[in-house]
Every structure is written in structure tokens, then in C-alpha cells.
Amino acid sequence: MEDTTRAYIAGFLDGDGSIVLQLKPRRDYRFGFQIRATVSFYQKRRGRWVLEWLYAHIGRGRIRERPDGIVQYDIEGVESVIWPLEQVQPYIVAKKEQVEQALGLLREVCANESPTPEEFWEWARRVESYQALNYSKKCRYRAEDVRRFLSSKGWLPPP
């Protein structure tokens, strides 16, 4: 990807984008929760073409039209989010801390396929602290929910 394209995408992410890390309960996951990563870009319906341009350059994710007239381009998944964040990292200004923290955590998650319960709980704590960097609604699941689950299985001492 050309530097000017990477810089443009970084500016778009800084202004009309978001980077979200969440804890989602999952019965089929070993520790009862998934760390979900999403990079999103937003435009009014008439600006859909620019989201299609982004998709053509990033090559992953999906574009959808919301009922409120906004078009949203989402890239979801730990591994899927790392590459575009790495591409734009040198050019990010407003969301520099979010990109650095997200990449640090997501790279760690990818590198460790079999974390201990203690490591997973620490990741959950980092996800929760990351959420404070965004202007988002209250998070539904917190690190303490993960700790309670891990404790109920006997993997961590009770809180």
C-alpha cells in the first residue's frame, strides 16, 4: 500500500472511524469470553463510495447500510484488525494511543494461543482500560465478569 493511501486511511480513521475492543461472553470459548476487536469507518449514505474505496485498499471486512442513513464499514476479528492498524500507525494523530494499545494487546493475544487463566484475566483488564480511551457508551461486560467466570471454574482464587 502506498504511503499516501496509508496516510489518507489514517486521517479517515482519526476523524470518522473507531477502534473498539470488547469482552463478549461465549459459551464455546475456553475462558467463557471472547476479546472482540473492530475497526469501523462511518459516512452518510451519499459517501458510501469512499468506504468502498477503503475496502478496495484494505481488502477485508464488510460494508453495511444502517437504518439511520449511515453507512458503516467494519473490520472485525483480532487478526483482521492488526494489519490495517499496522499500515496506518505511522500516520495516526488523534487516535495514536488507541492504535498503540490495541496493537500491543492484539499482537500478544495472537502470539499466545494457550494463555493461562491469569493471562486471559490480565487481557480482560487491559480491554476494560482501553475502553476508557473511547467516547463510547457504557461497556456491558467488564474484566470483573471474566474474573468471576474464571473463579467459578476454580482457575482463579475468588475475588
**Active-site residue set:** 15-16
Residue type present at position 70: I
Q: How far apart, in whole angstroms, are the C-alpha atoms of residue 155 and residue 96? A: 35
For residue 19, the cross-strand partners are 39
CB 39 within 8 A of CB 17: yes
**Taking CA 37 as the corner, what is the angle to CA 83 and CA 56, rounded to the nearest 5 degrees?**
45
**Taking CA 108 as the corner, what is the angle to CA 105 and CA 109, rounded to the nearest 5 degrees?**
85
103 alpha carbon, distance to own chain's centre: 9
